[in-house]
Amino acid sequence: MFALKTLAIFGLSTIVQAIRPPQYNTAITAADLIRIAPDTESCTGTTYADECRTASAAAPAIAISFTNFAISSFGAQAALVAIMLFESGDFKYNKNHFPAPGRPGQGTRNMQSAGFNGKYAEYLSIICTNCGITPADVEKAKGEGPAAVLELVSSDQWSFGSAAWFLRTQCDAAIEDGLAAGTEAGFKSYIEDCVGTTLTDDRIAGWQKVMALKQCQFNSSPTAIMGISRDSRHKRSASGAKRAYYRKKRAFEKGRQPANTRIGAKRVHLVRTRGGNRKFRALRLDSGNFSWGSEGIARKVRVIAVAFHPSNNELVRTNTLTKSAVVQVDAAPFRQWYEAHYGAALGRRRQQKAEEEVKKSKSVESKQKERHTAQGKVESALERQFEAGRLYAVVASRPGQSGRVDGYILEGEELAFYQRAIRK
């Protein structure tokens, strides 16, 4: 349940197979871990026996975290395994004990600080309804102190899942792209720019051991590399109905991952579809055509941020552009048109120094005055947005399908509705 719910949200920032490097299945095995770090085979003689976990216990939890948070590239998986092995002393402990007595609240297998453990617990309490962590539990633990918060996320499932959560929610998409490339530069960027620590020789050596599995990938059995298919022909009928006739898989039935279009320099990939047609899978977009319905015009404007999403708040936090997302766009192009069309200022603050007036003929002034009198009135809610330089708009296109982010400016009752939703 948790895996399905999380993937529906995240599908969220791993991209289509044609875009990323080859995808690896997430069934990491105990044999893989023992091959990387032989000490993980046993917990005999460890100082913190209650915190120690063998490869047999760690492998399933790590594999589940890769699935839950859609960590699909080998490079990203390798980096997460490497950091967990390094930070937890080959899974021998999951709390900070060094230097004694350690730092209260710092822990999990990637040794997150207390602040991030608080965010992690909050995330789980909201996203996962059957994980045994509720918002009330989180608030209570915060009142008791960092150690209590750490206890909430210290079970094997959440402790081994924290590294994948951190990469997915706290690192930029560019960091994961660098890890997917499988280069030392990408790993360095992850450690220094995202995790915020120094890349030492020991860390590099640990990462290289995991990367040595690249040729055989995690759990290299050929039966584990089947693709996800969305057809129902292969399913058994619960009523015992006759099976549909056999046919080969179709590309349009692939369980492709969503584009998760983010705000950034334009980056669009082509996906071939049935009949030689193409989809335009937008990974990054920074501008689009937005219409001002009451004025009957459209302008190409810059998209600034995602302000609200009817689906979930995670898409707002990650600035993911999808159809129906409420975004803030630059008001300048619409203001320029308005002032040229009506000859009147719009959204200019009183304290702002007035610009020099452009000389116009009397006939032009007369036309502009007539226009302004007839239909130049702008509602106060929209005028306040012009003063701020940002307008609320709704995305009407499908960026993952058309490669464009187009939409319309919010006005009237629809604007009031979304403003109430944003304020909640």
Do 183 and 314 share a domain, yes or no? no
**What is residue 115's predicted lDDT score, i.e. its pLDDT?**
92
Do 77 and 179 share a domain, yes or no? yes
**Is 296 a domain residue?**
yes
**What is residue 260's predicted lDDT score, i.e. its pLDDT?**
92
Do 405 and 301 share a domain, yes or no? yes
Do 219 and 125 share a domain, yes or no? yes
**What is residue 374's predicted lDDT score, i.e. its pLDDT?**
77
Per-residue pLDDT of the chain (424 residues; tens, 9 = 90+): 444 444 433 333 333 333 333 344 446 788 889 999 999 999 988 999 999 999 999 999 998 888 888 888 888 999 999 999 999 999 999 999 988 888 999 999 999 999 999 999 988 888 876 778 988 899 999 999 999 999 999 999 999 999 999 998 898 888 988 898 889 999 999 999 999 999 999 999 999 999 888 755 554 443 344 567 888 888 888 898 998 888 888 888 888 888 999 999 999 999 988 888 999 999 999 999 999 999 999 999 999 999 999 998 899 999 999 999 999 999 999 999 998 888 888 877 654 555 566 777 777 777 777 777 777 788 999 999 999 999 999 999 999 999 999 999 999 999 999 999 998 8
Cβ partners under 8 Å of residue 185, min gap 6: 178
**What is residue 356's predicted lDDT score, i.e. its pLDDT?**
60
**What is residue 101's predicted lDDT score, i.e. its pLDDT?**
85
Distance CA 235, CA 243 (A): 8
Do 146 and 24 share a domain, yes or no? yes
- What's the CATH code of the domain at 215? 1.10.530
Do 162 and 27 share a domain, yes or no? yes
Do 17 and 101 share a domain, yes or no? yes
DSSP code of residue 344: S
**What is residue 189's predicted lDDT score, i.e. its pLDDT?**
92
Provide the terminal-to-terminal Cα distance of the chain, rounded to the nearest Å.
28
Identity of the amino acid at 84: M
**What is residue 277's predicted lDDT score, i.e. its pLDDT?**
92
pTM above 0.75, yes or no: no
**What is residue 108's predicted lDDT score, i.e. its pLDDT?**
96
**What is residue 61's predicted lDDT score, i.e. its pLDDT?**
92
Total of domains in the chain: 2
- What's the CATH code of the domain at 419? 3.10.290.70
**What is residue 359's predicted lDDT score, i.e. its pLDDT?**
73
Mark which of 180, 206, 224 sits at the end of a domain: 224
Mark which of 175, 196, 224 sits at the end of a domain: 224
Structural domain for 81, as ranges: 2-224
Question: ∠ at Cα 76 (70, 82), nearest 5°?
Answer: 120
What are the respective helix, strand and coil percentages of the chain, to the nearest 5?
45, 15, 40
**What is residue 323's predicted lDDT score, i.e. its pLDDT?**
97
**What is residue 9's predicted lDDT score, i.e. its pLDDT?**
38
**What is residue 212's predicted lDDT score, i.e. its pLDDT?**
87
**What is residue 229's predicted lDDT score, i.e. its pLDDT?**
83
**What is residue 391's predicted lDDT score, i.e. its pLDDT?**
96
Residue 343 contacts residue 315 (beta carbons within 8 Å): no
